Amino acid sequence: MLRKQTGFSLVELVVVIVVVGLLAVAALPRFLDVTDEAKKASIEGVAGGFATGVLSARAQWEAEARPSVTLNGEKYNTVDYDGVDFWLTRSKDSSDSDTGFRDGYPYALNEDNTSYPTSLTDQACIDLMDNLLQNPPSVDTVANAANNKNVKYSAQANTGASTCTYVQQEGGSKHQFVYEIETGRVTVTLQ
């Protein structure tokens, strides 16, 4: 017995193509939106981890009964958090004047216990990200991040406002979070 094999008719092929096209039109925006949502979730996760690191360092300082170092008559807060020494903020100076900061938030690395930083720098912001997070994403200065696609975040200090701003570099995203050192607050801005 011979059987004649036949394929799809032209009408059936056109119907399948139209259905696949409609599915693609309906699904494509969802797939594009997933990428943007993933970038947003990524920066929110990093910012959340950073905020947790800030609060954990402060909690460590409180648990150790607020350790400090006196340099040239000034008392500066410091803590060993997870094997890294940090300089922390202080609310009063030696003359009991208000500094504008709350006590105990990470300000910079304490590399030698002999010199408290005189100003906030981009490198201090980079060091904070690298040492407060367990597995930090790669972070560098704004200039270096622009030239290196392996850098996931740029870091920029604002000495006047006492903030570190971290901008997500992946995929042209400009989502960012800001660490306000005076209060220990971490704020995410999605753009």
Domain ranges, ordered by start, for the chain: 40-189
Total-model pTM: 0.83
Q: Are 140 and 126 in contact (CB under 8 A)?
A: yes
pLDDT tens sequence across 49-100? 999 999 999 999 999 999 999 999 999 999 999 999 999 999 999 899 999 9
Q: Which amino acid is at 36?
A: D
* Separation of alpha carbons 91 and 69, rounded Å: 15
Structure tokens at 136: 């930090």
pLDDT tens sequence across 140-187? 999 999 999 999 999 999 999 999 999 999 877 889 999 999 999 999
